[in-house]
Amino acid sequence: MRKNSFIYATFILVIVNFIVRFLGFAYKIFLSRIIGAEGIGLFHLVFPILMILITFTTAGIPVAVSKLTAHYFSLHDEKTCRKILKTALILGFFISLILCIFLVFYAKHISFYFIKNKDTYESLIALPPSIVFITLSSIFRGYYYGMKNVEPPGISQILEQIVRISFVLGSLYLLSPLEVKHASMIAVIGIAVGELAGLLWLIFKFQSHKNIYIPNLQIKNTNKTLLGKIIYISLPITLTRLIAVIMQSINSVLIPQRLQLSGYSFQSAIATFGKITGMAMPLLFLPFIVTSALVVNIIPSISQEMAVKNFREIRLKSHIAIRITLLISLPIMAIFLFFSKPICSFLYDVDYVDTYLSYLSCATVFLCLHHTVSGILHGMGKQVVTTIHHLLGMVIQLICTYYLVANPRFAENGFILGFILSTFIICLLNIKSLNHFMPLDFHFFNHILKPILSTILMIISIKFTYAQCTCMNFIPLINIALSISIGFIVYMSAIILSKSISIKTLKWIITQKK
């Protein structure tokens, strides 16, 4: 693979995402066992507040840095690239500082009147350092993506997870026993400690190459001019993302409150919220290991092809990205749907988590397709279209949460139903829009039916292998790992033997040469 190719960068980021998500997933398992479902619930009540605040600095500014850096780097003007980074860092730090001051002054108000849980106050007070470090790290990563150098930001993400896990689990072990609210606060502090470690690595890599640059073409760009360009690109992206994050956060705050109206006690509502959002949902987003890498790389790749109106290449890359998404999401959905009990019993050993995961898994394919297709549309400059679709889906989910979760007949299943319905609608609208702007040539039998049949064979083999392993009294870890491994081999064999993926397609994926 060429080092500057779309597939190479995607491959590297897939590996990074896998490591980061594996570490994060293992961290959530250990954390949930140490602080319990109620502690996880408190953490996930505070987390949306962090997501809202960092949206101001991480939604648009890093994208603007990446785009501008790529533009000037292609003109061999690395001096301006460094000016862009410096200007963006100053802008990001200034905005994040304002957000920190706001949070310190209004933490009690947010805790008592918005979240309506006074135990979240300590965690909110611990958030400000995270806002600054996440902002600066995101801008540095945007700079490296623009330079087509994915290794430094990848290593920083892995380092961030390792330091965060070590700090939080070590602190909880040394300070045990702790009140639930204080344990949740340590988990929040761990975000800042991990992000600081990743940021220091990025600064170190930047400083070690600061004197190495390509002579520029004497293009005059003042800091004021670059600031204007950054704001011009980042502002609309930030505004659209902010609206979506706020709606998601409102939805998250509503769940425990509406569950209490359906008859749950305060502790039960928080625990149920923690099981769904802190235990089942992280598993559901495992396919994003691949789709996130696809989206990060396909946006600039398609943008470049749009500039030269190479629609054939756009169609080809979009087709490959969607097919990869389907081939990844279908088997994972089936595993979560039919094999959730052994997985959740081994990972959490908490009641009902497997049931929640099996229900939520129905949205897996729609969720992944929505992610990939929206990335393609963004690359084509159709951000407004995807934003409208996303907002419509969020409104539907919000309505379901407000009315169905408060109904004892639905309770937490009302949220799950709303999540599946909203994801399906967003996915359907995005695919319809993409087909309108650029018709895709998909064959139902080869591209959809064959992967489905291969998935069925995989599930049969997993069930059979698991039953045999259980009879032999293997430990649960070996039972699950061996069953899924054999199932994966069966799935890939069926995909290749059925010629669902042609040799020509595989050759293009590896070499990007037709």
Q: Are 389 and 429 in contact (CB under 8 A)?
A: yes
Q: Are 109 and 102 in contact (CB under 8 A)?
A: no
Among 28-37, 444-453, 470-479, the least confident range: 28-37
| Phi-psi category of residue 334: left, alpha or beta, with phi > 0 → left and psi -120 to 50 → alpha | alpha
The pLDDT tens digits of the residues spanning 34-44 come to 888 778 888 87
The encoded tokens of residue 315 equal 């169609």
Predicted model pTM: 0.77
Does the pLDDT of residue 211 top 50, yes or no? no
The encoded tokens of residue 285 equal 């987003």
Proportion of the chain above pLDDT 90, given as a percent: 30
Which DSSP letter does residue 252 get? Answer: H
Helix (H/G/I), strand (E/B), else coil: 330:
helix
Q: Are 514 and 508 in contact (CB under 8 A)?
A: yes
C-alpha closest to that of 147 among 196, 192, 98, 82: 82
Give, in order, the Cα–Cα distances in Å from 235 to each of 229, 239, 283, 400, 411. Answer: 10, 6, 33, 31, 38
Q: How deeply is 93 buried, as exposed, middle or buried, from its count of CB atoms within 10 A (0-12, 13-18, 19+)?
A: middle
Q: How far is the C-alpha of 16 from the C-alpha of 12, rounded, in Å?
A: 6
Other CB atoms within a 10 A radius of the CB of residue 34 amount to: 18
Does the pLDDT of residue 1 top 80, yes or no? no
Q: How far is the C-alpha of 356 from the C-alpha of 375, rounded, in Å?
A: 28
The encoded tokens of residue 6 equal 């779309």
Q: Are 233 and 187 in contact (CB under 8 A)?
A: no
Q: What is the mean pLDDT of the chain?
A: 84
Helix (H/G/I), strand (E/B), else coil: 383:
helix
Q: How far is the C-alpha of 412 from the C-alpha of 269, rounded, in Å?
A: 9
- pLDDT at 71 (0 to 100): 72
- pLDDT at 428 (0 to 100): 94
The encoded tokens of residue 380 equal 């084509």
Chain-centre distance of CA 486, in angstroms?
Answer: 28
The pLDDT tens digits of the residues spanning 213-254 come to 444 444 455 667 888 888 877 777 787 678 777 776 776 778
Q: What are phi and psi of 3, to 5 degrees?
A: -65, -25
Q: Domain limits of the chain?
A: 1-237, 285-440, 443-514
C-alpha closest to that of 245 among 394, 52, 59: 52
Among 75-79, 211-215, 240-244, 480-484, the least confident range: 211-215
Does the pLDDT of residue 333 top 90, yes or no? yes
The pLDDT tens digits of the residues spanning 351-369 come to 888 999 999 999 999 999 9
